[in-house]
Amino acid sequence: MKVQNPHDKFFKETFSNLEVARDFMQNYLPEPVLKIVDLQTLEIQKDSFINEDLQEVFSDMLFQVAINKQEGYVYFLFEHKSYSSKGVAFQLLNYMVRIWEQKIKKELDQKIPVVIPLVVYHGKDRWKIKTSLGEMIRRYDELPEEVRRFIPNYHYLLYDLSTFSDEEIKGEARLRILLSVFRDIFKNNNDELLKVVYHATLALDELEDQETGIEYFETFMRYLFNAGPQLTKNELEKMMNQIEINYPKGSEMTMTLAEVLRKEGYEDGIEQGREEGIEKGIEKGETKALVKTVMKLLTKKFGVLPADYREKIGQLDVITLEMIIDEIWDCDNLVTIEKYFI
């Protein structure tokens, strides 16, 4: 079945595993932040703060964690559209305020917790937006320091996966697979994606729990088939051979999944073709009827139509034919309808 938002689903399914989320923070949080964050206290929160109209291009996850030995939060905003958003700093501020409001209402505590905002981006183009709220404020840098301190500003951590090299992709198997495929999913290069599949098969063999490996491999392949480019028959065969050699435990599942998706795509194609055929049939029948009407009215008004007129009228579309019918009684002679033959 075609997934509505495969990027969101794959991101959340992967990061819902605390091992993966903890591993990302361990490998990618700046050292000063990591020193005061106790990753052993990490807990997933169920809340989401994305507005409904933005859920197609953003996902979010909130984790509670001890920061400086106090209750704190790490907030992930995952952007999965092909270009960076100018208003992300403002969006993040809005989401952080909502987190704080929620805490104040629930606990009646006027002290709010630390929230560290992170943006994970995997678009086609590199991130070109500055990573602070101050950059959104006109001529903020030109304000005197004693004035700037009255104006809210903060920085967020950015992880632009489009810039990551293979060496910069770190962590345990599932994290490396997710970061690699997110980096390459928008590239117009199927060889790069086949390489990701190859490395995924090698990485999953590292997992002690092989059942977990097979389950995650299915999650990964579902994402690839739903979000990735269409593979040719040769590319699919090449991929299957790679899996058979490097990760035979996943080959049967991949074949089954590929067949299910192929069948669904085939059936969808039949249904779409049937609907398009009906629409085209209706349109063709309507055109034929209108051509007949136009010729009949013109003949009634001006007599027998020249052969070249009949031929040109027969080539007109529905809209043009309807316009002729609307104006036919205002025409003084046949020449006036030649403007529709252009």
> Where along the chain do its domains lie?
1-163, 262-341
- Of 63 and 247, the one with more pLDDT: 63
Write down the pLDDT at residue 62. Answer: 95
Write down the pLDDT at residue 249. Answer: 73
pLDDT classification of 4: cutoffs 50, 70, 90 = low
Distance CA 176, CA 261 (A): 25
Reading phi first (left if > 0) and then psi (alpha if -120 to 50, else beta), residue 60 is in beta
Distance CA 198, CA 213 (A): 14
What is the mean pLDDT of the segment spanning 22-35? 96
What is the mean pLDDT of the segment spanning 257-275? 50
Say what the pTM is: 0.70
pLDDT digits 0-9 by tens, 126-163: 888 889 999 888 999 999 999 999 999 999 999 999 89
Q: How far is CA 44 from CA 25, 48, 76, 85, 297, in A?
A: 13, 11, 11, 26, 73
pLDDT at 55 over 70: no
pLDDT digits 0-9 by tens, 243-252: 878 777 777 7
Distance CA 44, CA 14 (A): 12
Write down the pLDDT at residue 272. Answer: 47
Write down the pLDDT at residue 260. Answer: 58
Pair of tokens at residue 125:
């183009």
- Residues forming a β-bridge with 37: 67
pLDDT at 117 over 50: yes
Write down the pLDDT at residue 287. Answer: 76
AA letter at 27: N
pLDDT digits 0-9 by tens, 286-321: 677 788 888 888 887 888 888 888 888 888 887 788
Distance CA 52, CA 334 (A): 57
Question: Which long-range contacts (C-beta less than 8 Å, at least 24 apart) are formed by 208-216?
Answer: 210/249, 213/173, 213/249, 213/250, 214/249, 214/250, 214/253, 216/14, 216/173, 216/174, 216/177
Distance CA 216, CA 177 (A): 10
- Of 47 and 83, the one with more pLDDT: 47
Distance CA 128, CA 163 (A): 12
Distance CA 341, CA 294 (A): 13
- Of 227 and 118, the one with more pLDDT: 118
What is the mean pLDDT of the segment spanning 1-24? 86
pLDDT at 275 over 60: no
pLDDT at 86 over 60: yes
pLDDT at 84 over 70: no
Write down the pLDDT at residue 176. Answer: 93
AA letter at 142: E
